[in-house]
């Protein structure tokens, strides 16, 4: 698959829901988080679906930091020992991210970097950023945005977002733009279908430049679309959605959801970044997309994107280089409303603004092209009109009218999304 550059135009879907949303979590555990899940045996061969043993001949993810924005990570689980860095807690500041009252983040992290056959990139490091509360929700999209920016500033090379909601957030869009312009690969789940939820790919997976991951299951040895996976024109890749992951306190549990599909793609990005440390984030994205195994209709399709994740091909195939993220139809390769991360000039001094939009042959949805220009009125630190984070990452100043609206929206959306998807 080749890549070429051309300008695009056309309509772009705009979500008008306010940004203070109560979101449903992307993945679901086999049992409620408050209950004791039935123990399962260690997943010794589940990664054979991705031919992990062959992939590890080329890369194990060493030297790459993957930020996991989730419910926290149990750093004491044997499979994650010495793999979890001190992180940050944007929920209540009670931890440094290395504790998980829910279990979702621990399962996600184990699929990325767990030992014992759990993780696809077993020598990668996990940077835990807690943004989900004990109910598996984030009440403010700005909370996730703050976590994204903090992860970029700590030098994360890959960010995994196994979360989302139907509504778009301007704060989160700016934060993801900050990550993309600072050479970070951003991966997010497409979301899980619910009876009363809209049938659209969740945000932030819909954000241009993000790898939106749908779920797969296996039947008689063949990969097929996981029935509960959301999908749409924004779908980029597909990966297994029925797996076994680590559980807090030790042991394992069965997990299902596109949250865990996303984790495997994030792990594959870590493998590629480890093998080619000088490769840009755009080149990593290009490798993952160009080497995907085609499923369904020829080329890109709404259910599978460009196809099934193939880590071995991503690590071995000859792929033409690109100058920018081929999914970034906003052409924000060199500029952002937010300042560059402190390490950016040292890591990627060759990253320069690029006019136009890079498109992978086969079709990218017709988003409006353009460039996000630097705005000198935006302070160095991320700020919005409604939320002003301080250096501790905890305080926020919200007007009474905005707070009342947020509480109303929270009540309404909790009726639509009562819990874990």
- CB distance 103 to 248 below 8 Å: yes
Q: Which of 77, 104, 225, 333 is catalytic?
A: 104
Residue 135 annotated to the active site: no
- Supply the pTM of this predicted model: 0.76
State the pLDDT at residue 42.
72
Q: Which residues of the chain have pLDDT under 50?
A: 1-37, 336-337, 343-345, 348-404, 406-407, 409-421
φ, ψ of residue 147 in degrees (nearest 5): -65, -40
Which tens digit of pLDDT belongs to each residue from 62-113? 999 999 999 999 999 999 999 999 999 999 999 999 999 999 999 999 999 9
CB within 8 A of 30, min separation 6: which ones? 37, 38, 253, 254, 255, 256
Distances (CA, A) of 207 to 42, 63, 244: 35, 27, 29
- The per-residue b/e assignment along 204-216, b for 16 or more CB within 10 angstroms, e otherwise, is bbbbbbbbbbbbb
58 flagged as catalytic: no
Count of domains forming the chain: 1
Q: For 327, what's the count of Cα atoms within 13 Å in the CB-facing half-sphere?
A: 32
CA distances (Å), origin 43, targets 40, 111, 251: 8, 10, 10
pLDDT at 340: 52
**Residue among 106, 153, 72 at smallest CA distance from 252:** 106
Query: Annotated catalytic residue: which of 259, 261, 336, 369?
Result: 259
| Gap between the Cα atoms of 120 and 60, Å rounded | 8
Q: In this predicted structure, what is the pLDDT of residue 241?
A: 97
Q: Which residues span the domain enclosing 333?
A: 3-416
Domain CATH code at residue 334: 3.40.50.200
Which of 264, 206, 273, 201 is closest to 421 using CA atoms?
201
User: Residue 341's pLDDT is what?
Assistant: 57
Q: Does a structural domain hold residue 102?
A: yes
Residue 421 belongs to a domain: no
Place of tokens 């970044």: 273
92 in active site: no
Catalytic residue among 70, 79, 100, 183: 70
248 occurs within a structural domain: yes
């Amino acid at each position: 698959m080749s890549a070429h550059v051309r300008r695009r135009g056309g309509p772009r879907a705009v979500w008008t829901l306010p940004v203070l949303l109560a979101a449903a979590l992307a993945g679901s555990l086999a049992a409620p988080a408050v209950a004791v899940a039935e123990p399962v045996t260690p997943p010794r061969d589940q990664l054979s679906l991705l031919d992990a043993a062959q992939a590890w001949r080329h890369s194990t993810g060493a030297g790459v930091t993957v930020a996991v924005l989730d419910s926290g990570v149990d750093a004491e689980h044997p499979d994650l020992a010495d793999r979890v860095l001190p992180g940050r807690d944007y929920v209540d500041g009670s931890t440094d991210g290395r504790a998980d009252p829910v279990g979702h983040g621990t399962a996600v992290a184990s699929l990325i970097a767990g030992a014992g056959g759990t993780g696809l990139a077993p020598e990668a490091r996990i940077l835990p950023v807690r943004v989900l509360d004990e109910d598996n929700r984030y009440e403010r999209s700005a909370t996730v945005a703050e976590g994204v920016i903090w992860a970029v500033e700590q030098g994360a090379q890959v960010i995994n977002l196994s979360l989302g909601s139907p509504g778009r957030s301007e704060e989160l869009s700016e934060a993801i733009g900050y990550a993309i312009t600072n050479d970070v690969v951003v991966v997010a789940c497409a979301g899980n279908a619910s009876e009363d939820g809209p049938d659209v790919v969740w945000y932030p997976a819909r954000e241009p430049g993000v790898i939106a991951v749908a779920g797969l299951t296996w039947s008689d040895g063949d990969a097929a679309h996981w029935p509960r996976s959301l999908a749409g024109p924004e779908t980029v890749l597909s990966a297994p959605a029925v797996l076994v992951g680590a559980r807090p306190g030790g042991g394992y549990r069965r997990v299902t959801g596109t949250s865990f599909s996303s984790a495997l793609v994030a792990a594959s990005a870590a493998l590629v970044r480890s093998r080619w440390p000088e490769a840009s984030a755009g080149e990593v994205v290009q490798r993952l997309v160009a080497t995907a195994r085609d499923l369904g209709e020829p080329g890109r399709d709404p259910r599978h994107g460009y196809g099934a994740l193939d880590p071995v091909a991503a690590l071995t195939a000859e792929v033409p280089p690109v100058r920018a993220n081929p999914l970034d139809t906003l052409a924000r390769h060199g500029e952002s409303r937010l300042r560059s991360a402190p390490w950016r000039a040292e890591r990627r001094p060759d990253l320069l603004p690029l006019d136009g939009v890079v498109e992978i042959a086969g079709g990218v949805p017709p988003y409006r092209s353009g460039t996000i220009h630097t705005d000198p009125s935006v302070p160095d630190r991320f700020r919005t009109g409604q939320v002003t984070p301080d250096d501790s990452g905890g305080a926020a100043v919200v007007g009474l009218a905005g707070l009342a609206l947020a509480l109303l929206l929270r009540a309404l959306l909790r009726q639509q999304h009562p819990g874990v998807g």
